[in-house]
């Protein structure tokens, strides 16, 4: 297979790339890398020490790209159909904004503030500090969900009436919210809850989520 994705399946950023590949019907190999104990050769291709990194073996070296947003943009240009970025300038920019919002504030709240404490710490053998998720759930996440509830309104998709990188970026973060043992409050955020469930039911997301749940079940049992 020409494409190799380096990274762990539970990462929201790795999932974002995997969903883009699945939506475009592109085969790839997932090469597992633990970003908290990366092998030395990984540091050479990921100067920020983060996953994912993509390698395109169709190309001569250097043929690696770090960063999910850079990778997704590359995949969109290499495999344009189906398009996952709106064509018109303003909707395209709005989709990029939601990608940025997801990768920054949502990742901070859900990644560092919840998933890291409850799941990653277990994986790396550290003691969790449950006061961090409690503060995240009480103070940090509600304004994020309020904002998304307003933005989604009664629409099917976040931007431009079509599935896009905005939906992938926002809802990949929500997978980690669910993996952390939380549920979306349907009474408080009905539009967001329905939207999340709809997007997660797409085969591209559902396949990743099922695989990750099997892994998490084993982790719980261990």
Ligand X SMILES: N[C@@H](CCC(=O)N[C@@H](CS)C(=O)NCC(=O)O)C(=O)O
**What are the residues binding ligand X (CB under 6 A)?**
11-13, 35, 49-52, 67-69, 103, 111
Half-sphere exposure of 98 (CA within 13 A, CB side): 28
Nearer to ligand X, 62 or 89 (CB): 62
Nearer to ligand X, 73 or 189 (CB): 73
Nearer to ligand X, 116 or 189 (CB): 116
**Residue in 45, 22, 75, 1 with CA at minimum distance from that of residue 9:** 22
Nearer to ligand X, 30 or 193 (CB): 30
SS3 state of residue 17: helix
**Residue in 190, 172, 206 with CA at minimum distance from that of residue 22:** 206
Taking the C-alpha atoms of residue 52 and residue 14, their distance in angstroms, rounded to an integer, is: 5
Taking the C-alpha atoms of residue 64 and residue 56, their distance in angstroms, rounded to an integer, is: 6
Q: In the chain, which ranges are continuous DSSP H helix?
A: 12-23, 40-45, 68-78, 89-101, 121-123, 131-135, 141-152, 165-179, 190-200, 203-221
Shortest separation between residue 8's beta carbon and ligand X, angstroms = 7
Shortest separation between residue 173's beta carbon and ligand X, angstroms = 10
Nearer to ligand X, 34 or 197 (CB): 34
Shortest separation between residue 41's beta carbon and ligand X, angstroms = 16
Shortest separation between residue 50's beta carbon and ligand X, angstroms = 3
């Amino acid at each position: 297979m020409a494409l190799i994705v380096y990274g762990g399946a539970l990462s929201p950023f790795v999932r974002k790339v995997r969903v883009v590949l699945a939506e475009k019907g592109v085969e790839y190999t997932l090469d597992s890398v633990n970003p908290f104990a990366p092998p030395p050769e990984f540091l050479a291709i990921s100067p920020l020490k983060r996953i994912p990194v993509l390698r395109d073996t169709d190309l001569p070296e250097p043929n690696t790209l770090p960063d999910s947003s850079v990778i997704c943009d590359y995949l969109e240009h290499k495999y344009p159909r189906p398009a996952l970025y709106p064509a018109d300038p303003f909707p395209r920019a709005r989709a990029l904004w939601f990608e940025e919002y997801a990768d920054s504030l949502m990742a901070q709240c859900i990644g560092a503030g919840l998933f890291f404490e409850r799941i990653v710490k277990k994986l790396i053998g550290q003691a969790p500090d449950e006061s961090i998720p409690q503060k995240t759930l009480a103070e940090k996440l509600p304004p994020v969900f309020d904002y998304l509830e307003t933005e989604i309104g009664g629409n099917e998709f976040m931007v431009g009436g079509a599935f896009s990188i905005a939906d992938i970026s926002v809802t990949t973060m929500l997978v980690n919210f669910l993996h952390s043992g939380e549920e979306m409050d349907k009474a408080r955020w009905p539009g967001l809850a329905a939207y999340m469930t709809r997007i997660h039911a797409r085969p591209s997301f559902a396949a990743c989520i099922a695989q990750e749940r099997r892994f998490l079940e084993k982790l719980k049992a261990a």
